[in-house]
Amino acid sequence: MSKTGTTTAVRPGTGLARLLRENPALRIDQDDYNINVTANYGEQLSGPAVADALRDHQGAGRPAHLYFHVPLCAYICHFCNYVKRKVPDGAEGERAPRVWTGLLLEESGRRLAHSPWLAGARVESVYLGGGTASLLGTEQLARLVAHMRERYTLTDDCEISLEGNPDNFQQDELAEAHALGFNRFSVGVQSLQSEVNAFAGRGHDAVMSLRAIEKLRATGCPYNVDMMFGLPHQTTATVADDIRRLIDLDVPTITIYRLRNADRAGMGIGNRAVWNVRSVKSRLDEQYLFPSVGETYAMREAVVELLLDAGYHPSPCGWWNRPGTYPDGNIPRVSRNKWQRHDSMIAYGPGAYGWLTGDGDTIVQTHNIADISGYARRMKAGPGLPLASGRRLTGHQAIGMVLGFAFKANQPIEAERFRRRFGVELFRDEPFAGVFAELMARRLVEPVPGAAESVVPTLDGEALHEEIISVYFHRRIGDFAEAVCRR
């Protein structure tokens, strides 16, 4: 084992194989791998009950994150199980960006009228995702930016991120978006191997990806390149070669994601991916095209080794940044707001989910209608919000969720924060003390040097962060039955 700063580094061929043997509960096969930092426990709320919680929330003057979900894609990736649809051909497809921008603006306007505190919330970060948000084009993006600046209180240094694919960033799209006020970008490359992308149904090749990265560099803004491992036709060598090329290009943030092949549609939280269809999945399994769990994590280890040697560090988990890319912990503002601090997240669009949080011990998750046609019909049917449901989390449920987000952020987890907000002692009260004692013994967290009552994930912990969040924080703490200590 080696050390990078204060965090234990894993080495290819030994680290994650050993971890999975020592922590069998954290070994999750790809068909069950759908880890989500949001909670699937807590009191179920109806759409009207969520609307009441939104109206009554005390969020004015407090920091918040704003998210717009654009459900449009130029093509449908075979692994994608998020809420999206292919842009139609012909005149309907040409109208789609304006139509969906109008629906998002309408929902935002209704939410502002329903919950006046929103106009006074201090919006520190904005993210346009999807789907493929960049498909809206410059004209429609300008409408959204103008709306945000006119109707919300954006901080002077608000981070405004735009997500897209390499095929969307081949001409002047990025320069135009930057001129509108976008100051951070995300591009979904996934692989630089043409065979891998073609098999997955991607609409770009390596040449287009590298051209998009050139365009991103020209903006002078921070950006991340999303890469996946565990896809069919990938090998440890090809995945490592992809990351080596990105490092050589000085990409500021390289995000690495394991293939999730769980059926999110069956769980009621997404669409069914092509590879979720039983006949398709069976055919791919028969051809041994999906890498095993061991092969998948060997890919990750090889990637991590390269990133560590190049001076990158994960912040949040899975997002590997060059030193100095971002201030204050080298973490993007979107990640600081959503995960590290767990500020309220206001989310618009079909399938979008958010949450309401503050100083109290209650969190309310909000879930929009996930069916795209159903969302559009609801918006066109008349006044009202397109809310489907929600969850109210209190006590251990809320603490488990906040701890999961804090672990995801890969920043110090401080006992004082939880003492002040929830009235609990993380390292003395149960079940928290037992969870952290076990994580410490398994070398998945470690003390922060010079900071009393504060821990941070090790690189071993970072490598299995989603599994740890699910097993230790959601199940062990979120599902804990006894009453929580009160202030």
pLDDT of residue 265: 55
Extract the tokens encoding 257: 């994601």
Strand order in the sheet with 454-457: 413-414, 454-457, 445-447
What are the domain boundaries of the chain?
Answer: 43-336
pLDDT of residue 136: 97
Cα three-residue angle 275-90-173, rounded to 5 degrees: 75
pLDDT of residue 486: 43
How far is it, in rounded angstroms, from Cα 395 to Cα 42? 10
pLDDT of residue 294: 85
Instruction: Give, for all 487 residues of the chain, the pLDDT tens digit.
Output: 333 334 444 444 347 777 878 888 887 665 555 556 577 789 999 999 999 999 999 999 999 999 999 999 999 888 887 889 999 999 999 999 999 999 999 999 999 999 999 999 999 999 999 999 999 999 999 999 999 999 999 999 999 999 999 999 999 999 999 999 999 999 999 999 999 999 999 999 999 999 999 999 999 999 999 999 999 999 999 999 999 999 999 999 999 998 876 555 555 556 667 777 778 878 887 887 888 888 998 999 999 999 999 999 999 999 999 999 999 999 999 999 999 999 999 999 999 999 999 988 999 999 999 999 999 999 999 999 999 999 999 999 999 999 999 999 999 999 999 999 999 999 999 999 999 999 999 999 999 999 989 999 999 999 989 889 989 999 899 876 455 544 4
Assigned CATH for 43-336: 3.20.20.70
pLDDT of residue 21: 82
Q: Is 200 helix (H, G, I), strand (E, B) or coil?
A: coil
Q: Are 340 and 405 within 8 A, CB to CB?
A: yes
Q: Which residue has the tokens 């935002």?
A: 108
What are the start-end ranges of the E strands in 120-252? Answer: 122-130, 153-164, 184-190, 223-229
Q: Which residue has the tokens 């999303």?
A: 226
Q: Is 387 helix (H, G, I), strand (E, B) or coil?
A: strand
pLDDT of residue 479: 76
How far is it, in rounded angstroms, from Cα 422 to Cα 424? 6
Model pTM? 0.92
pLDDT of residue 470: 87
Q: Is 393 exposed, middle or buried (0-12, 13-18, 19+ CB in 10 A)?
A: buried
